[in-house]
Structure formats: C-alpha cells, structure tokens
Chains A and B, each alone.
Chain A
C-alpha cells in the first residue's frame, strides 16, 4: 500500500502538478501567431471526449518555433461545445500571449491554467501513504517480538489511553462489556428499560437504501439494453448481464417489503428489568409492555433468557460469523396471544440466572452474549423477534462489579 501510494504520488507530481506549477512559476511570456486550430477526439461511443489544440508560431532569441499546444493540463471534456468556446478567441492569424519554458523553448502553452482537480488527485496517494506508513510503523515496532510480548504491549497501550473516556469493557473486569447502555434508561415499572440489540428501523433503512441504489443501477443498465433493442441493434451480451441484476433487484424489493411489515406491523415493545448487571444464581423480575395500533394475533408469543456464543472467522478473504445458542429458558408467554388495539399487552415474570452460568465475554473475534429474546409467530408474516442484551458478571468473589 505504501509503495503503491509512493509510486502514484510521484507519478501525479511529475505528470500533473510539476508541469502546471512550472508553467505558472517560471515560464516566460512572448507573443505567438495562430496558424491553425483543431479539436482532438479520444474514446468512442458514450465515453468520447474532446480537447482543444492550437498550432502557433513564435520566436525566442532569434529562433523560430512552431508547435501544437493549448494548456499544460490536457483536460478533455465530454461536451464538444465547451471546447469550441475555448477555441473561439484563437482565430487563425490572430496574435496571443504565449508562455514558454526558457530551458526548452519548444515547450509552450497558451493558457496557464492551474487545475484544482490535480491537487485533489493527491488525496488518493496521500491516503495510501499515510495508512501504509502507519501500518509499516506498527510492523516495525512489533518486528521480531513474540505474540505474547505484542499482546503485553497492546495491553499496556490500552491502560494509558488517556482520552478513552468510554471504554467498551469494564477495567476491573477484563473482557466483560460495560452495562452503561443498559442502565442509562430508567424504567416505568422496574429499575431499567432495556435497549434493543439492533433497531429494526435501522436495518430496514439500510436495506431500503441498498435496494434503492441497486435498483437505480439496474434501471440504468436496463434502459441502455432496451434502447439497443428499440434501435434494432440488440446487444445480447448486455441483455444477458441485465437479467440477474433485475432478478436480484426484484428479490431486494420483496425483502424490503417483508422487513417493513415485520418492523412496522407490531408496536415497539418496552422491556424492563429489576436490576443490572446480573449475577449467577440471582433472581430478577422483568416486565413487557407491547402497544398495538390494530388487533394482532400471535400463534405463539414468548420471552426467553438466552445465552449465545458468537465467533468470527476468516474463510479465504471473507469474514464469517457463527452463532451457537448454549442456554435458553422461557420466562413468560409461550401460548397463543391476541393483542387488541385498545389494550396493550402487559406481562411480568421472574427468572434466575443459572448458578453455573458463564459470564458475558467480549473479545475481538469471540464473545458470549446473554439477552432477553421476545419471539412471536404471526400467521402469514415473517417471524417476529426482538433481542435485549444483558450483562452477566461472574459470581462475586468479594469485589463489587461497579
């Protein structure tokens, strides 16, 4: 990355930045007569581009020069009108200022432009050089050091992170997530209102945006393919390429509709708990309140206490996540349930964290997660599931977790 960034940086400096800077900095001015002018074309079809070119004649220290030129940055434009406007002042036979390189007078330009786009181009190699440089520096500092020594250095670095005011793990309880997000919202009936694991609204919004982007691209592709057919010059290769795009787009629309039904069809439940964090062997109360804008019938509705192991592993270049449930105990519900519009569903229950429970654990690739899971089956709808994370600490050994 660093090498690529350096090569790209040098290439942009040599071919774009330095010539433009030189033309503005040390090129000398003289007068030149226009001999001819033309529009140069490059590319083909829809990628066709145009740039101006002017033949001039000028004299430097008694020597005559004749060359085709316009500006240092050989900028091309997709619209020929722009180029025609640029060439308009350069009438054949007219005389214009010209700037030439004193070291190489045959190198000359009529326009001393300074393209901002060239400077913006530096951002690309700049980002590569910075990220590659940081990576290289990290490699160098850990070069020849054992895995354990690197881990010890990392642990030491974490303890002196002065500006990390919101650590994701409790310092006295390594690898345990903090329960800050759980205890920052008081409940109405019980001590805390539990936050939802992943807001279904965000998932719906993200999927809807992805669906819109995909289908916009598909529409463009399809319109090009259709136009070829209507023009009587069908491009079957493009048509074949379009079909899987259209099918995927249709599936995305179907998926978004299902998500929308799942997200908006059932009111946002409120789940509360009597205390937090949880301890093995201790009993807690929970309360569920589920409003509903219309009548809703679940063939099965239940809340369970759940523990899952989650692990991330690389498979080639992909990163995959595997989840294994290792504990599940129903707390309330479990039967058919009908919620009326005027009567929100309310239920209370108690549960005990198993005496021998593993505590919550969070590392970079592996975790053990406890949660309350609301799950319901609605006829003709996708399964309804909402999860509320909990933090279970190890059994007390004389030290308070907070």
Chain B
C-alpha cells in the first residue's frame, strides 16, 4: 500500500518574506486513492516554540472536503494565495520563538490524519541573546 504524501509548493524560491508580501503556491495529495481522502485543510499560521505553553494563530485557512466539493481531486494542485500580515515577525528568541508555517492537514478514511509543513520567515529580526540584569 502506498503512503499518502502531501506536496506543498510556493511560487518562487523565496523563503524570507516581508509584511505585505503575497505568499502563493499550491498543494497536492499524492500516492493515495482519491476516494480515501475525506478533507484537507491549508493553514498559513504562526506559533510559538520554547519554554512556555504554545500560542498559535491562523492567518489564512482553507478547507476542502468531499462532502462540500464532490468533484474534488486531491491529486490536482490546489492553489492558495494570501497577503502576509504586518506582525508578528519571525523571531528566534531565548525563551520565546515565533515560527511561521504553511501547514496542510489531510483527513483520510478511518479517522487517520497526515500533516505536512513548509517553514518560512516573515521579516528579518536577528537571533536574540540573553542579557544579564544590571
């Protein structure tokens, strides 16, 4: 049995974006029988990493499902486009890190899920260093 694979492609090789830039691309679900795919969700989101509990917010969200779109063929590239927000910028802090990702979550028959992500950077904030309190 073939494994389900998700391909996420962005238009152009760029991985660093600025606020207000357009992020576009497409995704497709391959190596699986189309009828096994129940739904797919594309999210362009930021989330935090680090010592603390995770914060997550979705900037752009699209869902396609077999119920709503009967003629949907998951093998065909599905385009997406969004204008990136002013904030938050990607940040590599000491105990707080902010990451931006394009995430596709596929729901398969039998309540199985497959997730694929592509990371990108918003803005050019350099890595933070710890400072001792004076």
What separation, in Å, do the CA atoms of A361 and B50 have in the docked complex? 15
Task: Tell me the B10-55 residues at the A interface (CB within 8 Å).
Answer: 18-20, 41, 43, 45, 48, 50-55
From 78 to 92 in chain B, residues with beta carbon under 8 angstroms from any chain A beta carbon are 85-89, 91
User: Known contacts A324-B94, A328-B131, A399-B20: does B56 contact A147 (CB below 8 Å)?
Assistant: yes
B105 at the interface (CB under 8 A from A): yes
What is the predominant secondary structure among interface residues of chain B facing chain A? loop
- Contact A365-B52, Cβ < 8 Å, known A148-B61, A394-B19: yes
Contact present for B125 and A176 (CB under 8 Å): no
Assess whether B96 is in contact with A367, with CB atoms less than 8 Å apart.
Answer: yes
Residues of A within 8 A of B126 (CB): 356
A358 to B123, CA, bound (A): 10
Is B119 at the interface (CB under 8 A from chain A)? Answer: no
Known contacts A325-B130, A327-B131, A364-B55: A399-B86 contact under CB 8 Å: yes
B93 part of interface (Cβ distance < 8 Å)? yes
Chain A residue at smallest Cβ distance from B19: A397
Q: Which residues of B contact A175 (CB under 8 A)?
A: 57, 87-88
- The answer for the CA separation of A312 and B55 in the assembled complex, in Å, is 10
Q: Which residue on chain B has the smallest CB distance to residue A398?
A: B20
A148 touching B52 by the CB < 8 A rule? no
- Min CB distance A281 to B, Å, is 13
Cα separation A23 to B14 with both chains bound (whole Å): 80
Given contacts A148-B103, A312-B52, contact A368 B91 (CB under 8 A): yes
Q: Is B118 an interface residue (CB 8 A)?
A: no
A140 CB-CB contact with B under 8 Å: no
Confirm or deny: A139 has a beta carbon within 8 angstroms of a beta carbon on chain B: no
A151 in contact with B53 (CB, 8 Å): no
Chain A residue, CB-CB nearest to B62: A152
Cβ of A157 under 8 Å from chain B = no
Considering only residues 147-162 of chain A, those with a C-beta below 8 Å from chain B are 147-149, 151-152, 155
What residues make up the interface of B, taking CB atoms closer than 8 Å to A? 18-20, 41, 43, 45, 48, 50-59, 61, 63, 85-89, 91, 93-96, 98, 103, 105, 113, 123-126, 128-134
